[in-house]
Structure 1
Amino acid sequence: MTNSLDIDHLRTLVAIAECGGFSRAAAVRHISQPALSQHVRLLERGLKRKLFEKDGRVMRFTHDGETVLAEARQILAVHDQAMERLTVEKPRTITVGCTEHAAEQVLPEMLRALDNGFPGAATRFEIGRSTALVDAVTKGVVDLAFVLDPGSAGAGHEVARLPLTWYAAPSWTPPADGSAWPLVAFEEPCGLRERALVALDGEGHRVTVTGQSSTLEGVTAGVRAGLGVALLPTSGGRPHGLVERDDLPTTGDVSLRMVVRRGLEPDVELAAADAVARFFSTRPQLRLVPSPLVRSTSGA
């Protein structure tokens, strides 16, 4: 007789009893039916007892099988309780995503608020393109994210309006009459890129995209190098080495939206919304959109 019993094999035995058959138990255990049958054979061989017998077209527990099943349930109960007591609880992790345009200003305030509100949690962040972040939230990889929506509506709910500003290198000068206007933009698809093209086209300018990048750093580097102008949202501060151009078409502002994964705890969403409200209430040049999650903040 065997000197030990395999926990997985005992779980298989219990699954057969609870599911009422081998095929359903195999599906629940996420193993093939031959593998499940092998578990049973190894138990029978180790215990030197026949655990099942055929009754017509179905397999039923023998008397010995019922006895082993009762022991298996007791062993698994004690085993699982011990694992709960001995297993170190994993810290709660809150993953926050943010578009590059708002990361430098908004994200630090956000992470501080979450750290203060959930001292036992580990906070991690991801910075990326708005479309990729929305997809990550939808898949549950990211808990909440702050993304740009150049249109009038989009995912999540609006938390602020960021002014759109044209930037250029200090030495940059507009092209001569008839020449194409150089634009540095994000790689497609990008709503800001489309917004810039439409604005310049509306003024009768021909436009050539002279530089493009998947990152904000790449776009601003291209502008600093004098490749052209760029249309960027402002969440506070001016990109290093660039100057604002107020002689280009007015483009209004862009929506900053907060999207949260389905099932996110309300207290996490509330803490995030509150942090955003505090950040924008101290910056009158930016327009805070009141959130239904938080009460009005002084100065908003």
Structure 2
Amino acid sequence: MTNSLDLEHLRTLVAIAECGGFGKAAAVRHISQPALSQHVRLLERGLKRKLFERDGRNMRFTPEGERVLVEARRIIEVHDASLRRLEAKPDRTVVIGSTEHSAGQILPEMIRAMQAAFPDCSTRFEIGRSTQLVESARRGTVDFAFVLDPTGQGAGHLVGRLPLVWYAARGWSPPAAGRTWPLIAFEEPCGLRERALSVLTGEGHDVEVTAQSTTLEGVLAGVRAGLGVALLPSAGGRPTGLSACGDLPDAGTTHLRMVTRRGLAAEVERTALAAGVEFFAQRPHLQLVPAATAQGA
């Protein structure tokens, strides 16, 4: 059994009990539900005991979970009381959202910018699909998020445009004339899926979505398996094991926008937007939106 307990994981446990479920607790804790579930799994692994069991469609505390919950409340109470006595102020936390497509490239820039501007501020990240992140910003569970907007009509600050590239497994060849084109795509709703279907059918091809996934890794796995082609944004580099299909129809670009929650501090919003613009400014092969346009979008 572990010799230490993570305070944030204990707070998650208490939130589940007080909110009556994982979904509401995730919103209260300002984290995604997968992240909340990971907190529970880490607690169970460290304590070597099962904390929850299924009760129909819901989850309930096991007897061991109830015991841990009592101790969690006791530990948190002692910890918070100590902070009050010491008049310590908790670190400010900024929750940043990003799609899987842009996480690897933009988030490192964002971390550096936030640390430089707010050295006493800690950051937490939520990686998800654009539609989910827009909703999270609307509900206030993320402070700001970088999302894709293939329609070009979304809300938020327009930061730049990413080229859309067709990817396939190495050695893959387009279908013969008259044959159906296999497409790997994200599950609906998805602007990239709609763009891919529109471009291929506009060229007179019959198209079938042969595999779909809720995650980027799932889409890439389908492409690597040779199940079809996928249309994805590129910020430089190429997914491992895949080839760019330059002979397929040009699919244009997708807008990258920054959406924010209502009431976000102006200084945080300006810093995040500046970091996004700087990302594009350092990569001349991408399409940078002029700063004045980005600020006013």
**Structure 1: distance between partners of 2:294 and 2:220:** 35
Counterparts in 2 of 1:249 and 1:83: CA distance versus 1, 3 Å: closer
**Structure 2: distance between partners of 1:293 and 1:271:** 16
From the CA coordinates, give the structure whose radius of gyration is larger.
1
For 2:91, give the aligned amino acid.
P
**Structure 2: distance between partners of 1:102 and 1:166:** 17
**Could you tell me how far 1:152 is from its partner in structure 2?**
2.1
**Could you tell me how far 1:87 is from its partner in structure 2?**
4.4
Structure-2 residue corresponding to 1:29: none
For 2:227, give the aligned amino acid.
L
**Could you tell me how far 1:83 is from its partner in structure 2?**
8.9
| Aligned ranges 1:139-178 → 2 under 5 Å | 139-178=139-178
TM-score, reference length from structure 1? 0.68
Structure-2 residue corresponding to 1:208: 208
| Aligned ranges 1:127-276 → 2 under 5 Å | 127-276=127-276
Counterparts in 2 of 1:293 and 1:250: CA distance versus 1, 3 Å: closer
Unaligned stretches of 5+ in structure 2?
1-81
SS in 2 for 1:152: coil
1:283 aligns with 2:288: no
For 1:275, give the aligned amino acid.
A
The question of whether the paired residues in 1 share the 8 Å contact of 2:157 and 2:294 is answered with no
Counterparts in 2 of 1:125 and 1:274: CA distance versus 1, 3 Å: same
Structure-2 residue corresponding to 1:55: none
Counterparts in 2 of 1:252 and 1:293: CA distance versus 1, 3 Å: closer
The question of whether the paired residues in 2 share the 8 Å contact of 1:273 and 1:291 is answered with no
**Could you tell me how far 1:266 is from its partner in structure 2?**
1.0
Counterparts in 2 of 1:293 and 1:150: CA distance versus 1, 3 Å: closer
**Could you tell me how far 1:85 is from its partner in structure 2?**
5.7
**Could you tell me how far 1:132 is from its partner in structure 2?**
0.4
Counterparts in 2 of 1:281 and 1:294: CA distance versus 1, 3 Å: same
The question of whether the paired residues in 2 share the 8 Å contact of 1:143 and 1:264 is answered with yes
RMSD: 1.8
**Structure 2: distance between partners of 1:120 and 1:112:** 13
The question of whether the paired residues in 2 share the 8 Å contact of 1:97 and 1:142 is answered with yes
- Tell me the number of residue pairs that the alignment of Structure 1 and Structure 2 aligns: 214
**Structure 2: distance between partners of 1:211 and 1:252:** 23
Structure-1 residue corresponding to 2:99: 99
**Structure 1: distance between partners of 2:198 and 2:252:** 13
The question of whether the paired residues in 1 share the 8 Å contact of 2:168 and 2:230 is answered with yes
**Structure 2: distance between partners of 1:259 and 1:291:** 16
Structure-1 residue corresponding to 2:4: none
For 1:140, give the aligned amino acid.
G
**Structure 2: distance between partners of 1:180 and 1:153:** 31
**Structure 2: distance between partners of 1:169 and 1:184:** 12
**Could you tell me how far 1:291 is from its partner in structure 2?**
3.0
The question of whether the paired residues in 1 share the 8 Å contact of 2:83 and 2:89 is answered with no
The question of whether the paired residues in 1 share the 8 Å contact of 2:180 and 2:207 is answered with yes
Counterparts in 2 of 1:248 and 1:91: CA distance versus 1, 3 Å: same
